[in-house]
A and B are shown apart, each in its own frame.
Chain A
Amino acid sequence: MPDTILDVQGLETIFKTPDGTIHAVNGVSFGLKEGETLGVVGESGCGKSVTMLSVLGLIPNPPGKVIAGSAKFAGRDLLKMSNDEIRQVRGAQISMIFQDPMTSLNPVLTIGRQLEEPLMLHLGMTKKQASDRAAELLSMVGIPNAKDRLKDYPHQYSGGMRQRVMIAMALSCNPQILIADEPTTALDVTIQAQIMDLVKRLRQELGMAVIWITHDLGVVAGLAQRVIVMYGGFIIEEALVNELYANPTHPYTIGLLGSLPRLDAKERTRLYSIEGLPPVLYQKPKACPFAPRCKWAMERCWKENPALEPVAPEHRVACWVDTKTGRPRS
């Protein structure tokens, strides 16, 4: 059994807005094992990105604040670190790539300069060493003529190539954990396939753990070993990837899978649609956050919020109802 390298417990994050306090993450606990790929799935506003940003201390304060929880990495709590301490971890041992490769690169600096910066900062390389390593990294992510292309600016790269640069930058200090926040959402499917392939290959070569945040259940199926499904700032289901797709158990997961048309479907059926809208959490929910949209909801669902409970080996669900029988879970 591989060791757990990141252990997040009871994470809660809020944002103060003029309209009131938004409870974006409401007690999220999960572990990441060495070398695994963990998929984090949910719709916009479910708290999946905020969870990861909180762990890395990237929530702007104000308006945001991590109000509870811990995130143990290599024996230390990331949430208790000072700014200087966490900067040593960020980009070196844990790095992150973002959705939009256009806005995450500085348009007025060359690609080379941006790739060299973390190398000089975290690994103490000289300019010459950093420049050589930067060229190596670029060719590792599949950019031809790497040496010449270091002198180019971001606008001279296409969207897919920019995302490759972001990956090269994130991997430059050999991190133990790579957090990818919807890295392929802005890309076309053929380019998405290239990037997914690249990350899979690099993960095997470098042996790092990957957290892949996405709203696309199709992407996660092809990449992850384990999947977390989030809704309303909670984890509502967690399972190994094959188990989740074969036996989705939370009503939300069932609905989400049912609402996707499948390329390999045998015949055409009407899409299952989850009625209503995702919640905006001005209060920390006391009942199940999915109850207003749930067709199985019963009295208890409106009063108490279910905790994550095991239903099968390595499969945990937060629901009062046994969705197979439609009766309360005993």
Chain B
Amino acid sequence: MNANNNEVLLRVEDLKMHFPIYRGVFQRQVGAVRAVDGITFDVYRGETLGLVGESGCGKSTAGRTILQLYKPTSGNVHFEGVDLVRLKGEEMRRMRRKMQMIFQDPYASLNPRMTVGQLVGEPLMVHNVASGAEIAERVAHLLEVVNLNPAFATRYPHEFSGGQRQRIGVARALALNPSFIICDEPISALDVSIQAQVVNLLEDLQEQFNLTYLFIAHDLSMVRHISKRVAVMYLGVFVELADRDELYANPLHPYTQALLSAVPIPDPIADAKRKRTILEGDVPSPANPPSGCRFRTRCPIAQPQCAESRPEFREVQPGHFVACHLVN
């Protein structure tokens, strides 16, 4: 992959997204779900940054907040040097062309009453970049790019399988020639043999159009396959971020270690040799997160100091960030 240049495409600084909780007759705010609670990272042009975590850890909210689909509680998002949080109206609309999203559920994210041609052509129309015959031409080209027959443009989404629908979602995301795409669990609704087809397509497109991906998923093996760098999220914060090989070979945070050891390997002999860390209990509620380190309630090596202060997300080796008091 061509991510050797270190041009920062996206810079996220202390981004927070809190959803208020209202109670009582007067609907007073009694608290907040801290879905994303201060994340800081860069995405370099041309790379794939994998973002993994369990359900409810805030990874999808992080993706949507970065694209300003939610208005962040605080923090900054710089895309190509422009602060997205401050942009309004037409300026924001212009920026949106460069940033797109592929959604998880190919059954729910396509309007069943629109044809494939309308679905893929819609972004072109909304952003006034093409009209009439030009749109049809561009749609046909886009369908070819994602390996679908251009003749499918007159059909409706229900006529397609899950994998084909996800291709339609990809074509729609590509319509405006974006430079950055957030893939929010694009393959987790698909069967195993179809997952490989879609992942291979995403890789081909990245090479062809020099795309940058933020790849959100809970499947650690797939994230390892597709990413250049990987970030691990737990309860609204990043606990670790490193180059892919470094993270998988040398995980420093106890949560990353447990997560990696929990992934089943499709090989009974290798699987039997592995040492397993099985975490106790469940993820706490983000409305009432533990004090200090968020992972301390399930951490096998937690110390008293972990309850007192929140560990800083710091660079312990070049390019390897971790948030843990106990890592030197």
Contacts and interface: CB of A to CB of B under 8 A. Distances in A.
Interface of A: 43-44, 158-161, 188-194, 196-197, 215-219, 221-222, 241-242, 245-246, 255-257, 259-265, 268, 270-275, 277-278
Interface stretch (B72-80, B98-106, B111-119, B260-268): B260-268
Interface string B80-116: 0000000000000000000000000000000000000
Q: 6 shortest A-B CB distances, which residue pairs? A: A218-B264, A261-B225, A259-B196, A193-B262, A188-B54, A273-B196
Interface in B192-207: 192-197, 199-200, 203
B107 to A, nearest CB: 13
Contacts of B192: 43, 215-217, 256, 259-260
Nearest to A261: B225
A19 B192 CA distance: 27
Main secondary structure of the interface of B (DSSP, over half): helix
Given A158-B282, A188-B54, A189-B54, A219 B225 contact: no
A159 B161 CA distance: 29
Interface stretch (B12-20, B125-133, B269-277): B269-277
B287 interface: no
B218 interface: yes
A170 to B, nearest CB: 21
A301 B10 CA distance: 52
Nearest to B258: A190
16 contacts: A189-B259, A189-B263, A190-B259, A190-B279, A193-B261, A194-B278, A196-B264, A216-B192, A217-B192, A222-B268, A257-B266, A259-B195, A262-B221, A263-B263, A271-B196, A277-B163
A193 B276 contact: yes
Interface of B: 54-55, 161, 163, 191-197, 199-200, 203, 218, 220-222, 224-226, 248, 258-272, 276, 278-279, 282-283
Contacts of B267: 221, 245, 262, 264
B264 A219 contact: yes
Contacts of B263: 189, 218, 263
B193 A216 contact: no
A159 B54 CA distance: 12
B266 A260 contact: yes
Contacts of A215: 191-192
A277 B197 CA distance: 11
Contacts of B262: 189-190, 192-193
A89 B261 CA distance: 38
Given A43-B191, A189-B54, A263-B224, A277 B161 contact: yes
B197 A263 contact: no
B193 A261 contact: no
Contacts of A265: 224-225
B281 to A, nearest CB: 9
Nearest to A186: B55
B268 A278 contact: no
A256 to B, nearest CB: 6
